Amino acid sequence: MTVTLPPKPQSLREYVEAYLKQAIVGGKYKPGDRLIEREICELLGVSRPPVREALRQLEADKLITHELHRGPVVASVSCEEASELYAFRALLESYAVAEFSRLASDAQIKELGLAIQKLNEAAKMEEKQILLDAKSHVYKIILDGCGNKLVSESLNKLLDRVNILRGTSLLQPDRLSKSLKEIDQMFKAIKDRDYEKSKTLAYEHIQAASKIALRVLSETSS
């Protein structure tokens, strides 16, 4: 997998962190892979301090862990943790979708429709990172327009770990096409300002993804 180097933001630490997050979520670094400081420094052309700072932040975000004699490694997501994440997402995201259907302006709904159109286009490109970015953008519009900052902040904190699980479920045979159909149905309910239907469809969409991801995690851990 090719990982595009992100544009350098305000600090080198943020630059390194952005690259590593993209590489982990996109699958370049897999669970259990070591993250070697020297190699990261050489790849990104930075010194060790910003790399160490970025690794500490990724550990705080639970994307990596520190193992004795191995150093920083990409964290694994257990079936139990994945189940809890999906349960949390189902409750909050279904609420956010329903509130978006009630509160969003016509312009915001139009913006969501365009983002979903781009998601469908990204699905044809067979590039995991582009697909995940497109889906994240769809949910960003929903969270920004749901009118509840606490819900938005809570889900945004989980975004990277959620994307790892999204990649697990979306890439399974037939799941992507079903996922896109579910999102199209959810969008129709949003356009109709149907609060209860949009909430139910969002909940069912996450539950369907959960079943696939938990099955894959169970198979790989057994």
Which helix (H) or strand (E) element contains residue 200? helix 195-221
- Whole-angstrom CA distances from 219 to 45, 85, 164, 202 are 39, 19, 16, 26
Specify the CATH class of 12-74 in words. Answer: mainly alpha
Cβ-contact 70, 194 below 8 angstroms: no
What architecture is domain 79-221? Up-down Bundle (1.20)
Tell me the pLDDT tens digit for each residue of 190-213. 999 999 999 999 999 999 989 988
Cβ-contact 150, 92 below 8 angstroms: no
Tell me the pLDDT tens digit for each residue of 38-71. 999 999 999 999 999 999 999 998 899 999 889 9
pTM: 0.81
Tell me the pLDDT tens digit for each residue of 140-195. 999 999 999 999 999 988 887 887 777 667 667 678 899 999 999 999 999 999 99
- Whole-angstrom CA distances from 18 to 55, 125, 130, 153 are 11, 23, 15, 19
With a CB cutoff of 8 Å and minimum separation 6, the contacts of 218 are: 79
Backbone angles phi, psi at 66, to 5 degrees: -110, 115
Mean pLDDT of the chain: 90
Among 162, 139, 178, smallest CA distance to 213 is for 162
Burial of 190 (0-12, 13-18, 19+ CB in 10 A): buried
Domain definitions of the chain by residue range? 12-74, 79-221
**Spatial distance between the Cα atoms of 21 and 146, rounded to a whole number of angstroms:** 26
Asked whether the CA dihedral 161, 67, 171, 206 is positive or negative, the reply is negative
